[in-house]
Amino acid sequence: MRASDEMTIGNLARRTGLAVSAIRYYEEQGLIHPERNSGGQRRFRRSDIRRLSFVKIAQQFGYTLPKIATLMATLPEGRTPTKRDWEKISRSFRRTLDEQIQTLEQMRDNLDGCIGCGCLSLKKCRLYNDQDRAARLGPGPRYMMGDRPGDLD
Amino acid sequence: MRASDEMTIGNLARRTGLAVSAIRYYEEQGLIHPERNSGGQRRFRRSDIRRLSFVKIAQQFGYTLPKIATLMATLPEGRTPTKRDWEKISRSFRRTLDEQIQTLEQMRDNLDGCIGCGCLSLKKCRLYNDQDRAARLGPGPRYMMGDRPGDLD
DNA sequence: TCTTGACCTAAAGTTAGCTTGAGGAATTAC
DNA sequence: GTAATTCCTCAAGCTAACTTTAGGTCAAGA
């Protein structure tokens, strides 16, 4: 066995910090495609370390495994990804990250408005109204937080 | 039945945009404490609309139901929360929100560094190294992304 | 060779936050 | 009074991303 290029699952687990069971699960989900030796045991390439590390990072960005799988489909299995490969993906990361940050910042701004008003004057409150707007798609709430047309402020 | 202050579960569902089953579940989790009428059916107060709206908002901030329950434990069941009640909680919201934003911004900065370097030169890469640091608590990865001591850059 | 440790599959369990289904009782509308 | 709603409980199911368990097989070292 050319030890330089083949790894057992336990070895890969140690190198990536993942559990053996997680690696098997990732194979099941199509994220990696190890070969088998004559005895039926999985044998991994060194590039699988890279792939699994990529999975971990993408997960930190909030990607689901299916999404990660499609992202990785654009990456080469065997060779080191080129700068161009990586740039495409990292731009996608950057976009979702920016969106996430923007969402949180908007929530923060809304919240700040509410702190100022004590959030007892709810007809104007952004936090509730933003929610309201989303909910209106369904049979959702007409008047949030107990306020009704005639309610006092 | 004094309709002004008692609501059926279906009514509350319509007013909050929640599913009936979700409201029952929230009761089970101790987020609301409706009374029962003679026939054993739940009867809710108008203030429960407020409580459930609060639950929805806190969920948007990423709080789990148990955490929301403890947050709400500081709120009065019957009366309208005071400005002071609200300020305490909104400060807590603000803190977690700030932390979340900071985490994402750090990830973005790391990512930007990686875009610049093409992320092929991985010994310096923040994205991987931050992950590495976290993983080192366990038996984690020694060399991430396939890099080994002797590997070329 | 024998033993130990690593590996295999398949199925079931885990957590959060609910939804769905079964079987039945209470309420409301006419 | 009766039919249509709405409500009730309890148990099971759902999704994601894994882990755990059970019952074996394979590989490596002395």
pLDDT tens digit sequence for A20-64: 999 999 999 999 999 999 999 999 999 899 899 889 988 988 899
Burial A4-35 (b: 16+ CB within 10 A, else e): eebbbbeebbbbbbbeeeebeebbeeebbebe
Contact predicate B43/B37, CB 8 Å = yes
Q: What is the DSSP string of B30-69?
A: TS---EE-TTS-EEB-THHHHHHHHHHHHHHTT--HHHHH
As a residue count, chain B comes to: 153
- For the domain with range A1-81, which CATH number is right: 3.40.50.460, 3.30.70.2740, 3.40.630.30, 1.10.1660.10? 1.10.1660.10
- Which residue, among B131, B65, B26, B48, has the nearest Cα to A56 in the 3D structure? B131
Average pLDDT on B71-98 reads 79
Taking the CA of residue A78 and the C1' sugar atom of nucleotide D23, their distance in angstroms comes to: 36
Q: Give, for A43, the enclosing helix (H) or strand (E).
A: strand A42-43
**Rounded to a whole number, what is the distance in Å from the CA of A118 to chain B's nearest CA?**
5
Contact predicate A16/A27, CB 8 Å = no
Res A151: pLDDT: 27
Q: Which of B17, B49, B98 sits opposite A140 (nearest CB)?
A: B17
Query: What are the Cα distances from residue A16, in Å, to A34, A49, B68, B69, B151?
Result: 15, 6, 35, 37, 17
| Nearest-angstrom CA–CA distance, A61 and B110 | 12
| Nearest-angstrom CA–CA distance, A49 and B121 | 15
- For the domain with range B1-80, which CATH number is right: 3.40.50.10880, 1.10.1660.10, 3.40.50.620, 1.20.200.10? 1.10.1660.10
Chain D nucleotides with an atom closer than 7 Å to a protein C-beta: 6-9, 16-20, 25-28
Q: Which of A50, A112, A128 sits opposite B53 (nearest CB)?
A: A128
CA angle B87/A126/B20 to nearest 5° reads 90
A100 contact to strand D (CB, 7 A limit):
no
Q: What is the pLDDT of residues B1-38, one digit of tens each?
A: 444 579 999 999 999 999 999 999 999 999 999 999 99
| Neighboring chain A residues of B79 at a CB cutoff of 8 Å | none
| Neighboring chain B residues of A105 at a CB cutoff of 8 Å | 101
Q: What is the largest CA-CA distance in chain A?
A: 81
Q: Quick one: tokens of B107?
A: 């990830």
Chain C nucleotides with an atom closer than 7 Å to a protein C-beta: 6-9, 16-20, 25-28
What are the structural domain ranges in chain B? 1-80, 82-146
Residue of higher predicted confidence among A107 and B23: B23
| Neighboring chain A residues of B137 at a CB cutoff of 8 Å | none
Res A92: pLDDT: 84
| Nearest-angstrom CA–CA distance, B98 and B39 | 48
| Nearest-angstrom CA–CA distance, A42 and B1 | 69
